[in-house]
Amino acid sequence: MLLALVTVASVAQNQEDVSLAYSYYNSKDYDKASYLFETLFNQTHSKNYFNYYIKCLSALGDLEKAEKAAKKQVSIYKNDLSYKIILGSIYKSQGKADKADEQYQSVLSSLPKDRNSIVSVCNSFLAHDEPDYAEKTLLRGIEIANVDFSMELFSVYSSSRNYKKMSETAIDIIEHNEAQLSSVENMLQYYLNNDTNDELYTILRSSLMQRIQKTPSTALSEMLIWVYVQKKNFKMAVNQAKALDRRTNGNGRRLIVLGQQAEAAGDLSTAATAYQYVLEGGEKAPFYFQAKLGVLNTMYQQVVDGSITDKEQLAYLENEYRSVFAKQGINATTVQHVINYARLETYYMNNADTAKSVINKALQQPLNYTIKADLNLQLADIFLFSGDEWEALMIYAKVENDNKQNEKGDEAKLRKAKVAYYTGSFKWALSQLDVLKAATSKLVANDAMELAILINDNLAVADEYLPADTTAENPDQELQIFARGDMYMFQCRTTDAFACFDTIVTQYKSSPLVDEALYRQAQIYERQKDYSEAASLYQKVADDYAYDNLADKAAFRLAEISSTYLADPETAKTYYLKILTDYPGSIYAVQAREKFRKIDGK
């Protein structure tokens, strides 16, 4: 019984010493830490404690004591090569490079044929910052043990950022065994994602292209495509995929996947190119229909972002939609395209009745509740666009009632609140928005919060904000004008919307809505591709209203326009940097940092 108590007490003391040793080490109290690690090593003979003991002595500058301790372990454990590596590292710290190399060469000449031992020695060299000797260990291991150490070599090269050898080794692994493609891509992904100056990307791409030219390989071509995608160079990825598809008599599957990836990344023209390649295979091609829908979707997105405005192109897209519906019918596969077609007819072709008709036709199909909710929400939007607020409210209310337990109900409630806001029923709108602040959908919750703040901050404003020649009989007058402008924007009545916002800017100059009105006017100019005017107004909001909630958003839009459309990288840099310094918590901070670095070449 007494022996058991002594043993428990000993273990407890040991654990306390371990914690204390690491605590001293982490706080850089190396004198106390070295004493405890030496004691622990003598008690347990754990190599980990010995390593920390040597680290402490090195930090204290007592290299002679460290050398003496290492020599002692080398003489005791003649077969444990790691102690020789430790001794070599001490010699190196003393400036005795020749003696260090002597120890390291001794390790290489004594290397056993056992795979695990070879890997252990390699890791020991890496732990002592000797990647060259870690590489030599593995290469020597290949000679004496006839074992493949390609994966380990990749790790060695990656630890020293030797991108050339990393790339060549990765390619060698795939050439030896194509089944390793996914594993190699997983290993490379971290380094490519953190390759801020594209050094690895450039070297890897070049190495792959040279190897493919020398020995055409499907796996290496797939890897090259993957590398392009990691850097969002979809144009080159699609070109490579087209060449591979032709060479292998592929069925276009790669191009469909790339088209979807490019589309998701916003590279719509490249996505369309990928889909168009598949369409060239004819209607009997296995992915023809997917490609057709892909082309429709990319064209529609280009209409929305303003890239396509030509009436002939709009008419072409309209006819393509009708052709697809005629051949494929209206069903679960095509229903999202029905919604896009309805939006095209409503907002861009001024054919709201046609849009209502196709939505009602789709609602007759056996579709799930989510899709039917989306169709009804779109139908209500069309009525609101046409000026029939009452019918829109009725449909929104039905969707909300039918979807009380899911996000579609929240979306419908938000749109009801917006109708109330548009029509000046601000308090009723707030009652709806307050509920939505806790919505499951973060997007709905954020939109509800944003609109609620706008209304609360401007509801029943003081008389001082009104024009001098008016009375305070309607204290919410400027908010009503502003809300009407928002409704006109929704209805694509751009001239009327701009006039409403201009009234706020010119007649209510002290109103807290002025920066909001300027921002809306900038959005209108941007939609009209008048980027100079848009930039001017965004800059005014960012500079003159720097402490209001739109400042970071305006700064980001100004930077984006300056970079993309105005060939003004200096202004872009200035305002990306402004977001990082003045608004570090902004939702645009991450994008701003990435784009600032890209422009700055860092």
- Record the tokens describing residue 568, joined without a space: 């003004």
pLDDT of residue 13: 52
pLDDT of residue 438: 80
Residue 44 domain-assigned (yes or no): no
CATH assignment of the domain containing 474: 1.25.40.10
pLDDT of residue 472: 52
Query: 130 in the Ramachandran plot: left (φ > 0), alpha (ψ -120 to 50) or beta?
Result: beta
Residue 206 domain-assigned (yes or no): no
Residue 306 domain-assigned (yes or no): no
pLDDT of residue 2: 42
- Record the tokens describing residue 259, joined without a space: 């088209």
Name the residue with tokens 């519906």: 325
User: What's the helix, strand, coil split of the chain in %, to 5?
Assistant: 75, 0, 25
Residue 372 domain-assigned (yes or no): no
Q: Profile the chain (602 residues) by mean pLDDT over runs of 10 residues.
A: 43 71 91 90 88 90 90 88 91 92 93 92 92 94 91 93 94 93 93 88 95 92 96 95 92 95 94 95 92 95 89 94 92 92 95 96 91 96 96 96 91 96 95 87 90 89 48 76 96 95 94 95 94 96 92 95 94 94 92 87 58
Burial of 531 (0-12, 13-18, 19+ CB in 10 A): middle
Nearest residue to 211 via CA among 224, 195, 225:
224
Residues counted in the chain: 602
Residue 498 domain-assigned (yes or no): yes
Residue 586 domain-assigned (yes or no): yes
Neighbours of 280 (CB within 10 A): 11
pLDDT of residue 439: 78
Residue 509 domain-assigned (yes or no): yes
pLDDT of residue 465: 46
pLDDT of residue 495: 96
Q: Domain limits at 471?
A: 463-600
pLDDT of residue 260: 96
**Residues 382 and 342: beta-carbon distance below 8 Å:** yes
Our separate counts of H helices and E strands in the chain read 32, 0
Phi, psi (5° rounding) for residue 279? -60, -30
What one-character DSSP code corresponds to residue 95?
T
Element spanning 309, H or E: none
pLDDT of residue 601: 66
**Residues 22 and 48: beta-carbon distance below 8 Å:** no
DSSP string, 379-391: HHHHHHHTT-HHH
Residue 135 domain-assigned (yes or no): no
pLDDT of residue 79: 86
CA distance 55 to 73: 15
DSSP-H helix ranges across 27-96: 30-44, 47-60, 63-76, 81-93
Report CA torsion sign: 336, 338, 339, 345.
positive
Q: Quote the number of domains for the chain.
A: 1
